[in-house]
Amino acid sequence: MSVVAEDRATGGPGGPGSVLLGLRGISKHFGAVHALNHVDLDVPPGQITALVGDNGAGKSTLIKAIAGIWAPTSGTMTWDGKPVEIHTPKEADRLGIATVYQDLALCDNLDIVGNMFLGHELLRHRLLDENKMETSAKDTLAGLSVTTVKSVRQLVESLSGGQRQSVAVARAVMRDAKLVIMDEPTAALGVSQTAQVLGLIRRLADRGIAVLVISHNLNDVFSIADRLAVMHLGRMVHSGPISEYTPQSAVEIITTGKFGGDNSNSRANQGQKSRETTND
């Protein structure tokens, strides 16, 4: 499909069915290891896209390419319909891409406010504007219905895993992120904390934010995701609305890279087929 035809099909930037982040033919080689192989993916605003795949499939490598941690070996990206290159995390931040890694990169010895404004502190007459930062941190957490933290002056080291995730996500929201990427946000959480974080992810999407979330937990994926994207051995082998999949078919694609007779119409799959026929 031509870029113009595709734009019309997706409604163009900001339109219904629009694409916030578009990846085309993204490859990443580490020496002889082809961690990503011609990956195509469209990430729409206001929806949760679950990125799944077996260990080593390339999920973390893909989000690191989007987050500006390392440059792809080849391929192109679009942001709001325009070509873009993301060379550093700072450039990703400027576009409105926030990544919440599994280790979260929060500072234990700072309180919630300190963490939420780390590197972007508000100043008043050259001094830290603690009141404004505190109010803003409280408002952001309240806006996301995060009710379990007692005080925003609590040190982060005293928070539970779910609360830490919430702070990391709230920081992204406060930075006005348009795309929030999360690498296994519930992996270390118990049942109620998982429910809390999944609710938070849903609320992000309901605010119009695009969410790209890596998860190995298909229960979580099928309870919150709007779209599914499946990677297998560095390739994006399937992607589409979650309604096109069942947990069983998802497992099949994750483990074999194929779906029954593989008659899916998903674009990623068609791209895969065309590449296979051109022997690329």
Pick the closer one to ligand ATP by CB: 30 or 120: 30
Closest CB to ligand ATP among residues 58, 271: 58
**Does 114 help bind ligand ATP (rule: CB under 6 A)?**
no
Run of H or E residues at 12: none
55: contact with ligand ATP by CB under 6 A: yes
Three-state SS at 221 = helix
* Distance in Å, CB of 236 to ligand ATP, minimum: 12
DSSP track, 121-144: --EETTEE-HHHHHHHHHHHHHHT
Backbone torsions φ then ψ of 214, nearest 5 degrees? -85, 135
Positions 9 through 48 that interact with ligand ATP (CB under 6 A): 30, 33, 35
What is the nearest approach in angstroms of ligand ATP to the Cβ of residue 54?
A: 7
How far is 186 from 90, CA to CA, in rounded Å?
26
Burial class (CB in 10 A: 0-12, 13-18, 19+), 263: exposed
> Which among 57-65, 143-151, 228-236, 263-271 is the span making contact with Mg ion, rule CB under 5 A?
57-65
Q: At what angle do helices 191-206 and 161-174 cross, to 10 degrees?
A: 10
State both tokens at 224: 């919150």
CB of 67 to ligand ATP, least distance (A): 12
73 binds ligand ATP (CB under 6 A): no
Chosen from Mg ion, ligand ATP, none, partner binding at 56 (C-beta under 5 to 8 Å by type): ligand ATP
- Point out which residues bind ligand ATP (CB under 6 A): 30, 33, 35, 53, 55-61
Chain positions contacting Mg ion, by CB under 5 A: 60
